[in-house]
Amino acid sequence: MKITFYGHASLGIEVGGRHIIVDPYISANPKAAHIDIDTLKANYILVTHAHGDHILDVEAIAKRTNAVIISNAEIAGYYGAKGFQSHPMNHGGSWNFDFGKLKYVNAIHSSSFPDGSYGGNSGGFVIEGEHKNVYIAGDTALTMDMKLIPMRTKLDLAILPIGDNFTMDVEDAIIASDFLDCDKILGYHYDTFGYIEINHEESIRKFFDKGKDLMLLEIGDFIEL
């Protein structure tokens, strides 16, 4: 499994020979100016919630690649009504795709489209594929529901927001990693805007002091599990 960071909360995941894009907000992010969305491969697009900084490039990528948009029922229906391929899910539900098993799990955050239409309830995703399991939290507060995930799935990586203000901060993310029984963390949703700027060295040190590994990738860099 290869995971590429495209800035903010945008990810590319290669698993089982398939290409997944998560929450694409790339083309309007000046920090990701070197990423060309027209070159990104996508069989699927995962959308955690409807905010503009998570859906900006969904339609452009889906139109070019014919990717299936996977999200909650409201978001999937929104794109389905526009003629895009979509797969609706809801909290606690899972589905076996050709890249592995995908589960839609709870997140605590608001969700509405930039035009004001209803975006359902925010969520995150657990991917079980190629003998590696990953949790993508989406935008969320720290929640006790995270304790449920390791009761079903042994995680190899948790991808957590750490920018504070709109989501968890670093200290809450450390607690989240305890709840998730996962000490390998990829941080995201930080530095894009002034509200969510963090001190990188201090954040990494705080995780290290708790015996945990926080990875902060440069935009365009990747890790392999």
* Beta-strand pair 184-188/94-97: unpaired
Residue 130 confidence (pLDDT): 80
* Beta-strand pair 86-89/68-72: parallel
Q: What domains are there in the chain, each with its CATH number? A: 2-224 (3.60.15.10)
Question: Are the C-beta atoms of residues 196 and 165 closer than 8 Å to each other?
Answer: yes
* Digit-coded pLDDT (tens) for 79-121: 999 999 999 999 999 999 999 999 999 999 999 999 999 999 9
> Above 90 in pLDDT, residue 182?
yes
Question: Are the C-beta atoms of residues 93 and 104 closer than 8 Å to each other?
Answer: yes
Alpha-carbon dihedral sign for residues 147, 142, 128, 100: positive
* Digit-coded pLDDT (tens) for 117-130: 999 999 999 999 98
DSSP state of 67: P
* Digit-coded pLDDT (tens) for 36-71: 999 999 999 999 999 999 999 999 999 999 999 999
